[in-house]
C-alpha cells in the first residue's frame, strides 16, 4: 500500500517537490558551449545530471572528468564527475529515468538562410520515445518564434500526454557569451516562457534552484523573440558601425577616434565597434531566423537584410586594405606572404564557428597570396580544402603583411610593431601605437 495521499498529488506537485529537494534527475541533450556549462551549474546546485550527446568523444571526455569547453575548467568538472553528480551518455534511453530535460542542440542556417531544424527534430523524436508523466522539457536552442508550440509540442503530444497537466514545456533562450570573464551561465538572467502558465511556473522554479536570476515571460513565443531581438540589435548596430568605417575610410577619418569621442556622451549612445566581419554561433545567424519567419507573414525585414549585406562585405574590405597596403610598398598581393594573427571568431576563445578569418583567408588565397596564421587556441584549420597548421606568432615578422583579425590578449603587439614589415589592424589592437607600417580599418 502506497503512502497515504500520494496518489492525489498532481504531476506538477510531484515534480515541484523533486525540484525543491534537488532530487529531480536532470538531463541535458547537447553538450557543447551551452549544454555543458548549464549541466555543471545544476550539478553544482546538487541535482543529479546526465548529459546526452551523439559525440562519443564528448561522452568519453566528460566521464573522464576532462573538460573541452573553456568556460568549464577541468578542475570544476572533475570533482562533479567523481562525486557522481554529473555523467554523460550517448544512449537516449536514459531519458526514461529523467525528470527534466534541457535541449541544447545546434540550430544552424542552411545555405539558403532558412532554419535547419534537423538537430531539434532529431532530439525531439528521441525525447518523444521516452516521455513520461511529470517531465519538464525546456528548449534552449535559438530558433524562430513559434518553434516550441508549432514544431516541438505536436511531436511530444503524440504520446497522448497533455501539456500543462502531464508534462511541462518551456522555451528559455541560451545567452552564453564564450570567454566572458564577468557574465557566465550562473549570473546571466534566465528568461523562461512556457506553453501554459503552469509550465512557466515550473520552468522558473527549476532554473531558480541553480541560477542567480530568472525572468518569467508570458509565452514561449515571447521568450523565443527575446533572443532574436537581442542579437538582431547587436547585428544591426555592428552593421551600422561597419558602414561608418567604410565611409570614414573614404574620407580619411579615423573611425576608432570617432567612436571613442562619441562614447563620452553619457546618454543616447552605446558604442559598437567595426571589425573584419561577424562570427560566432549567434549574431551572424539568429537574425535570419527572424527574417525567415517574418517572410512567412509577408513582412520584409529590411534592416536585417541590409546589415547582413554590409557585415558580409567586411572581409572583402579587409582584403582590399591588404592589397592596397602592399601596393604602396610596390608589392602585388599575388605571390605575397600574408600572415593572419588570430582566426577564432573573437578574442581569447577556441571557437572557429562563422569566423570572418576564414573568409579573409579564402579571399586572400583566391587572389594568389600565400597565407599562414597564428592562434594559440586553434591549432589547425582547413580553408578551400587546404590544411593549415598554426605557427608561432614570432613567424609573423617574415611575412610581407600581417593582418590582425582576432586580437588575442597573448599576442605581443609591441614586438609585432617592431618586427613586422606591414600590419593591417582590423580590431584596433594597436591603439596607442604610431607607425607608418600600421594600416587601420
* The predicted structure's pLDDT at residue 282: 64
Residue 90: Cβ within 10 Å count: 14
Kindly give the pairing relationship between strand 49-52 and strand 26-29. Answer: parallel
Q: Which of 86, 147, 88, 82 is nearest to 121 (CA)?
A: 147
Distance CA 172, CA 207 (A): 10
Place of cell 552593421: 239
321: left (phi over 0), alpha (psi -120 to 50) or beta: alpha
Residue 419: Cβ within 10 Å count: 13
Beta bridge partners of 381: 388
* The predicted structure's pLDDT at residue 35: 96
Q: Which CATH architecture has domain 234-440?
A: 3-Layer(aba) Sandwich (3.40)
Longest dimension (CA), the chain: 91
CATH topology of domain 10-218: Rossmann fold (3.40.50)
Q: Tell me the per-residue pLDDT of 331-364, one tens digit each, with 9 for 90 and over.
A: 999 999 999 999 999 999 998 988 999 999 999 9
Q: Which of 199, 248, 282, 401 is catalytic?
A: 282
Q: Tell me, yes or no, if the pTM score tops 0.85.
A: yes
Cβ burial of 434 (10 Å; 0-12, 13-18, 19+) is exposed
* The predicted structure's pLDDT at residue 1: 42
pLDDT 10s digit of each residue in the chain, 441 long? 444 445 678 999 999 999 999 999 999 999 999 999 999 999 999 999 999 999 999 999 999 999 999 899 999 999 999 999 999 999 999 999 999 999 999 987 776 677 789 999 999 999 999 999 999 999 999 888 999 999 999 999 999 999 999 999 999 999 988 888 899 999 999 999 999 999 999 999 999 999 999 999 999 999 999 999 998 999 999 999 999 999 999 999 999 999 999 999 999 999 999 999 987 666 667 777 778 778 877 888 888 888 888 999 999 999 999 999 999 999 999 999 999 999 999 999 998 988 999 999 999 999 999 999 999 999 999 999 999 999 999 999 999 999 999 999 999 999 999 999 999 999 999 999 999 999 998
Q: Output b/e per residue, 215-234; b: 16+ Cβ within 10 A.
A: ebbebbbebbbbbbebbbeb
* The predicted structure's pLDDT at residue 280: 62
Q: Please, are residues 144 and 290 in contact by the beta-carbon 8 Å criterion?
A: yes
Task: For residue 282, indicate whether it is catalytic.
Answer: yes
Domain positions in the chain: 10-218, 234-440
Q: Tell me if 10-218 shares its fold with 234-440.
A: yes
Amino acid at each position: 500500500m502506497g503512502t497515504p495521499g500520494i496518489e492525489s498529488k498532481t504531476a506538477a506537485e510531484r515534480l515541484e517537490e523533486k525540484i525543491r529537494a534537488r532530487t529531480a534527475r536532470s538531463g541535458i541533450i547537447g553538450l557543447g558551449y551551452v549544454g555543458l556549462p548549464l549541466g555543471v551549474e545544476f550539478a553544482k546546485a546538487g541535482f543529479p545530471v546526465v548529459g546526452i550527446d551523439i559525440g562519443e568523444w564528448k561522452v568519453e571526455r566528460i566521464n573522464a572528468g576532462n573538460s573541452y569547453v573553456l568556460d568549464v575548467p577541468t578542475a570544476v568538472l572533475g570533482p562533479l564527475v567523481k562525486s557522481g553528480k554529473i555523467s554523460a551518455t550517448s544512449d537516449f534511453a536514459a531519458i526514461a529515468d529523467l525528470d527534466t530535460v534541457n535541449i541544447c542542440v545546434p540550430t544552424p542556417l542552411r545555405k539558403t538562410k532558412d532554419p535547419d531544424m534537423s538537430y531539434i527534430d532529431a532530439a525531439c523524436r528521441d525525447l518523444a520515445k521516452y516521455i513520461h508523466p511529470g517531465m519538464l522539457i525546456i528548449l534552449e536552442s535559438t530558433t524562430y518564434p513559434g518553434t516550441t508550440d508549432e514544431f516541438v509540442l505536436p511531436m511530444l503530444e503524440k504520446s497522448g500526454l497533455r501539456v500543462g497537466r502531464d508534462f511541462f514545456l518551456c522555451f528559455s533562450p541560451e545567452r552564453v557569451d564564450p570567454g566572458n570573464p564577468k557574465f557566465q551561465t550562473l549570473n546571466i538572467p534566465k528568461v523562461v516562457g512556457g506553453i501554459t502558465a503552469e509550465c512557466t511556473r515550473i520552468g522558473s522554479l527549476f532554473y531558480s534552484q541553480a541560477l542567480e536570476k530568472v525572468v518569467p515571460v508570458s509565452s514561449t513565443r515571447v521568450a523565443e523573440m527575446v533572443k532574436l531581438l537581442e542579437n538582431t540589435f547587436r547585428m544591426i548596430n555592428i552593421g551600422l558601425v561597419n558602414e561608418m568605417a567604410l565611409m570614414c575610410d573614404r574620407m580619411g577619418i579615423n573611425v576608432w577616434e570617432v567612436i571613442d569621442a562619441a562614447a563620452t556622451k553619457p546618454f543616447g549612445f552605446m558604442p559598437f565597434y567595426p571589425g573584419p566581419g561577424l562570427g560566432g554561433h549567434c549574431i551572424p545567424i539568429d537574425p535570419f531566423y527572424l527574417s525567415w519567419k517574418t517572410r512567412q507573414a509577408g513582412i520584409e525585414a529590411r534592416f536585417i537584410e541590409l546589415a547582413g549585406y554590409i557585415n558580409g562585405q567586411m572581409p572583402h574590405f579587409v582584403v582590399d586594405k591588404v592589397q592596397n597596403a602592399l601596393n604602396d610598398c610596390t608589392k602585388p598581393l599575388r605571390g605575397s606572404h600574408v600572415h593572419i594573427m588570430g582566426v577564432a571568431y573573437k578574442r581569447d576563445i577556441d571557437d572557429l564557428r562563422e569566423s570572418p578569418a576564414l573568409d579573409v583567408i579564402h579571399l586572400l588565397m583566391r587572389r594568389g597570396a600565400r597565407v599562414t596564421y597564428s592562434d594559440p587556441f586553434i591549432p589547425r584549420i582547413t580553408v578551400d580544402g587546404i590544411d593549415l597548421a598554426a605557427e608561432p606568432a614570432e613567424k609573423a615578422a617574415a611575412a610581407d603583411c600581417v593582418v590582425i583579425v582576432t586580437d588575442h590578449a597573448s599576442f605581443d603587439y609591441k614586438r609585432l610593431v617592431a618586427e613586422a614589415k606591414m600590419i593591417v589592424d582590423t580590431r584596433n589592437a594597436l591603439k596607442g601605437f604610431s607607425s607608418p607600417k600600421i594600416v587601420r580599418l
